Amino acid sequence: MAEVAISLKGVSKCFKRYARPVDRLKEILLPGKSRAVPFWAIQEIDLEIFRGETIGIVGQNGAGKSTLLQVITQTLTPTSGQLTVNGRISALLELGSGFNPEFTGRQNVFFNGRILGLSQAEIEQKFDTIVEFADIGDFIDQPVKTYSSGMFVRLAFAVAVNTDPDILIVDEALAVGDVYFQQKCFIRLRELREAGVTLLFVSHDSSAVCKLCDRAILLEHGRVILDATPRQVVDLYEAKLLQKQDQAPERIAIQMPQASTDAAITSTSVQLKYVQFLDADNHAIQSAFSDSKVQLAIGLTFLERMEDPHVGFRMRNRTGEVVFESNTFCMKHSIGAVEAGSSIEARFQFHLPLLAGDYTITIGIAEGGFSEHQFKRVLTMLHNTAVLKILQNPNAILWAGIVNLNPTFEIYRSSSTPDETLIEL
Ligand SMILES: Nc1ncnc2c1ncn2[C@@H]1O[C@H](COP(=O)(O)OP(=O)(O)OP(=O)(O)O)[C@@H](O)[C@H]1O
């Protein structure tokens, strides 16, 4: 039977709440009578998480997610119930926890590593990987109080995911940073998951939960109201969100996951000069509305003669999932032979039936295509050459999923029957 990594039996946490700040003061000055109102942030939680499982924790603001995770990491003591944790926990829950603002990044890595139970030698051995992951340059030797919140998260995440935890707890709301860093985080989370690490993942991003998790729980008013597959949990969560939306109309945007560890390939026979998005009027852009038409311009200089060059691009969402890729060979286009020293601009024009969010572009250049994705020589494969921010289109329908199918709708009523309510589709 699978080994239990975390077990909660009837766990509840009660906070004291005061109707007015003055009540707290009165309670201190006039002890004896409690003026607090008890508030149960989590109630009667029964949960078993098995070693190697990836669990998504979903719930609306105030549902009790952070409280539950703080109880599991033992930052908060439960008011009642029993918690058992088997394994070393590394958590990225609260910005700043575990970091001393006066210490440099380097000192904090060692300080944190020791808190997480690593020896000095183990931290030294992992130090370069942590610094490379955080990618904050010389700031590693500056006091962390001088860091931006983005730098802070980078370093905290780098420490949390590179210190061999048995159990990793991540609140994705903290994974701020650019799209490249977010993709890197998702790739690392998947690697850890494959390595058998138990992962608790809190996110408001339904598709990230579906892609990453084996199981999910939905919290509502401090109780687990569903413990099921991520799809089932997300469906109920979204249905509840939509119900709420009916009361206060506001749009929701859902994004999607997955990642890759493709290596970059560079070549001396062709140079990538620029990659630029353009609008329909050929103006350079960094962002575009969902469903609008854009152009991707790719400037190339060939350093040797080529008979049959091809160029393609791959677009990934923030969690690294490929949303589209193709190339001139697959599109049945020929660039034709190019001479050494000649330059071209390849332009792809397309619509963006995609969700709002940041998307990255990988460019591939090859020579001599002979079947789908197969070329005589792959000359260049360069990741992260450009980012496009897709903005929610205010004129679009309300939709969720991966691609906006933009359906039209018609209704057919049977003319042969007098019953006007009978609908045939
Ligand atoms: N120290 C505290 N004192 C009083 N109430 C608290 C305390 N900490 C949390 N709460 C309350 O407990 C409830 C659950 O809070 P919690 O932060 O666990 O929710 P959450 O699901 O993580 O929300 P979010 O998605 O907004 O982070 C909230 O109503 C919150 O106001």
Q: Sign of the C-alpha dihedral, residues 268, 272, 359, 173?
A: positive
Element (H, E) at 229: none
Distance CA 181, CA 162 (A): 15
Better pLDDT: 36 or 404: 404
CATH topology of domain 4-247: Rossmann fold (3.40.50)
pLDDT of 176: 63
pLDDT tens across 183-197, in order? 888 888 999 999 999
Kindly list the domain boundaries of the chain, sorted by start residue. Answer: 4-247, 270-391
Q: State both tokens at 188.
A: 């690392």
Strand 80-85 vs strand 4-17: parallel, antiparallel, or unpaired?
antiparallel
Least confident range of 142-146, 258-262, 330-334: 258-262
Contact 350, 288 (CB under 8 A): no
The minimum-distance atom of ligand 1 relative to the CA of 219 is 21
Task: Report the distance separating Cα 234 and Cα 252, nearest Å.
Answer: 13
Give residue 351's pLDDT band: very low, low, confident or very high (50, 70, 90).
very high
Q: Is the dihedral of CA 389, 394, 397, 399 positive or negative?
A: positive
Mean predicted confidence (pLDDT) in 164-172: 88
Q: How far is the CA of 188 from the centre of ligand 1 (A)?
A: 28
68 CA → ligand 1 middle, Å: 10
Q: Which residue type occupies 22?
A: V
SS3 state at 36: coil
Counting from 1 in the atom list of ligand 1, the atom nearest the Cα of 42 is 14
Q: Which of 13-17, 140-144, 243-247, 327-331 has the lowest mean pLDDT?
A: 243-247
Longest dimension (CA), the chain: 91
How high is the mean pLDDT of the chain? 85
Q: Which atom of ligand 1 approaches the CA of 68 most closely? A: 18
Given a cut of 80, is residue 86 above it in pLDDT? yes
| Contact yes or no for 167/190 (Cβ under 8 A) | no
Beta strands in 193-269 (DSSP E): 198-202, 215-220, 223-228
Q: Considering the entire predicted model, what is its pTM?
A: 0.69
Q: Give distance in angstroms: CA of 76 to centre of ligand 1.
A: 12
The residues lining ligand 1, judged by C-beta closer than 6 Å to any ligand atom, are 15, 17, 39, 41, 59, 61-67
Q: Which single residue is written with the structure tokens 């860091």?
A: 147
Question: What ipTM was estimated for this complex?
Answer: 0.95
Nearest Cα residue to 257 out of 196, 194, 182: 182
Note whether 7 and 53 are within 8 A (CB): no
- Among 18, 40, 67, 79, which residue has the most ligand 1 atoms within 8 Å of its CB, making it the best to mutate? 67
Instruction: Please state which CATH class domain 270-391 belongs to.
Output: mainly beta
Among 18, 40, 65, residue to substitute to test ligand 1 (most atoms within 8 Å of Cβ): 65
Nearest CA to ligand 1 atom 25: 61
Distance 154 CA to ligand 1 centre (A): 25
Cα separation values, 36 from 25, 39, 40, 79, Å = 11, 9, 13, 16
Q: What is the pLDDT of residue 164?
A: 86
pLDDT of residue 130: 93
What's the CA-to-centroid distance between 61 and ligand 1, angstroms? 8
CA-nearest residue for atom 16, ligand 1, is: 64
- The pLDDT of residue 249: 32
d(CA 97, CA 74): 13
What's the confidence (pLDDT) of residue 416?
57
What pairing do the DSSP bridges indicate for beta strands 284-285 and 215-220?
unpaired
Q: For ligand 1, atom 28, name the residue with the nearest CA.
A: 62
CA atoms of 240 and 246, how far apart (whole Å): 10
Q: What is the pLDDT of residues 253-301, one digit of tens each?
A: 222 223 333 455 666 789 999 999 999 999 999 999 999 999 999 999 9
The number of CA neighbours under 13 Å toward the Cβ of 138 is 0
Q: What is the pLDDT of residue 240?
A: 80
Distances (CA, A) of 12 to 48, 64, 220, 277: 15, 10, 14, 52
Q: 396 CA to middle of ligand 1, Å?
A: 34
Amino acid found at 381: M
Q: Are 140 and 129 in contact (CB under 8 A)?
A: no
Whether the predicted pLDDT of 220 surpasses 90: yes
Range 384-400 average pLDDT: 88
